[in-house]
Amino acid sequence: MQKKSLPILFVLFFSYAVAFSQTTVTLNASAAKTTINKNIYGHFAEHLGHCIYGGFYVGDTSKTIPNTDGVRNDIIDALKKLKIPNLRWPGGCFADTYHWKDGVGPKDKRPTIVNRWWGGVTEDNSFGTHNFLNMCELLGAEPYLTGNVGSGSPQEMADWVQYVNFEGKSPMSDWRKQNGREQPWKVKFWGIGNEAWGCGGNMRPEYYADEFRKFATFMTDWGNTGGMVRIASGASDADYHWTETLMKNIPVDMLGGLGVHHYSIIDWSKKSSATDFTEAQYFATMKSALQMDELVTKHAAIMDKYDPKKKVAMIVDEWGGWYDVEPGTNPGFLYQQNTMRDAMIAGVTLNIFNNHADRVRMANLAQCINVLQAVILTDKEKMILTPTYHVMEMYNVHQDATMIPVTVKTNFYTVGTEKLPAVSVSASKDAAGKTHLSLVNIDTKNTQTITVNVAGAQYNSVTGRILISSKLQNYNSFDEPNKITPAVFNSASLKANTLSVKLPPFSVVVLELN
């Protein structure tokens, strides 16, 4: 009896092991109803290091770099391909020391400013409101202006709104026309200060709530198309008291959006190298990145108490990986390389935002060029696209598509005694009826075998793209700009409306189902 039962036990054990090694995803296409706002895929451009000067802006006298009014043409082309929906400017911490009137009018008349937050460098204010808003028009992106609450006044903010949005005759609109812009730009998104709990003034939430109400009162819409969205300086990470206080003390009808800031970082006092990191450091960074789901969930629950109809958007207007600067660079410029680790951060974070599209309706990666988790790096006339750029380009199929709810039962990525979910997934259906599925495997060693069960839709074909490299620490350099680029993915098959996928270690895949 014992000899005969051994094969049966072996079969049962083998079957259990195979089942356990599978990741199962259920796609509930019939429950799709929430739009993934394209503004989730927004970016951030602060006067920090070489993001503006030497990044976007090379000056209109540049002889070696093709540009339009001083803005690099190659960057414009790359960001248009990315379908960048919005761009936040001028900060960041810089915003609460920036006085916008210093950056308009004849350039030779503009005063200089010392960037006290980032490197102590002197800037000449040659890149100002006209430059930024005209650049957004070139990009086809919505501008998101962050106003100065920390060292500014409600009058200064109201004047800025009138300058950029008012079509009729007024002191500010007349000044705009004198400076060469006849028609207003109709700016919709306005941040009322930045990080008011820190560099924006070290305010208490009760005090900032009153400041927000005061500033917002004097920010008249001026007939802006679609209505002005006034965005409050939101919480840092898990400061739920900040969110509770603002939601309780600011009327919902006055509050268009509420920010949240969270960086994927191991330790503020001891950051890792951007390229020379261990698996333990990678694991810790991904643990921080995946915390975004908990943060969004808990902040959203507080917002739901005061805004059950979800009128107020959660706006995660700073997110991304933060490491040590590259050796030999100015510590205040926050210049870091961008590896496959950053591709993992981008993939899982965007999946989280997609899956919370009912509340998260804007986000801004920090930052666009040459700063933190940049999508573009420049060196004089050279320009490279980072792995993060390629993830965001692959994911732009989700912009303004309808989110399809997913249920994921995943294996774990284990290091030592700690573990994280290995697979991250989000899905959507676009206006043409195509379904897109984005999948990330953060495991450094194990291929994930994934079974996707579809409910509420029928498919007959699947195609895909993958971002992958031979080493987690690999990156695109100015010598090897195309070391990491998307490729055709052939390890997905469809049979009887069940999708089977082999997802390699530390890879990002986007599938299209028809």
* Predicted confidence (pLDDT) per residue in 421-464, tens digit: 999 999 999 999 999 999 999 999 999 999 999 988 899 999 99
Instruction: State how far Cα 250 lies from the chain centre.
Output: 26
Q: Token pair of 372, please?
A: 């933190």
Question: How far is it, in rounded angstroms, from Cα 434 to Cα 328?
Answer: 47
Indicate which residue of 46, 195, 211, 393 is catalytic. Answer: 195
Q: Which domains does the chain have, with CATH numbers?
A: 22-31+405-513 (2.60.40.1180), 36-401 (3.20.20.80)
pLDDT at residue 222, as a whole number: 66
pLDDT at residue 225, as a whole number: 58
pLDDT at residue 7, as a whole number: 44
pLDDT at residue 223, as a whole number: 64
How many CB atoms lie under 10 A from the CB of residue 180?
10
Q: Token pair of 223, please?
A: 């007939």
Question: How far is it, in rounded angstroms, from Cα 180 to Cα 188?
Answer: 21
| % of the chain surpassing 70 pLDDT | 95
| Alpha-helical segments (H) within 315-454 | 340-355, 387-395
Is 195 designated active site?
yes
Q: For 222, left (φ over 0), alpha (ψ -120 to 50), or beta?
A: left
Tell me the three state secondary structure of residue 168: coil
Q: Are strands 435-441 and 423-429 parallel, antiparallel or unpaired?
A: antiparallel
pLDDT at residue 21, as a whole number: 62
pTM (predicted TM-score): 0.94
Q: Token pair of 354, please?
A: 């997609």
pLDDT at residue 18, as a whole number: 39
| Alpha-helical segments (H) within 182-255 | 205-217, 240-249
| Element of type H or E holding 313 | strand 313-321
pLDDT digits (tens, 9 = 90+) for 19-71: 346 899 999 999 999 999 999 999 999 999 999 999 999 987 788 999 999 99
Indicate which residue of 46, 142, 211, 318 is catalytic. Answer: 318
Tell me the three state secondary structure of residue 476: coil
Interhelix angle 240-249/205-217, nearest 10 degrees: 40
Is 318 designated active site?
yes
Sequence-ordered list of residues with C-beta below 8 angstroms from that of 326, at least 6 positions apart, any chain: 274, 335, 336, 337
Of 238, 351, 258, the closest CA to residue 305 belongs to: 258
Residues in the chain with pLDDT < 50? 1-20
Interhelix angle 154-165/129-139, nearest 10 degrees: 50
pLDDT at residue 13, as a whole number: 35
Query: Contact, 321 vs 264, CB < 8 A?
Result: yes
Query: Contact, 409 vs 448, CB < 8 A?
Result: no
Tell me the three state secondary structure of residue 194: coil
Q: Are strands 313-321 and 402-404 parallel, antiparallel or unpaired?
A: unpaired
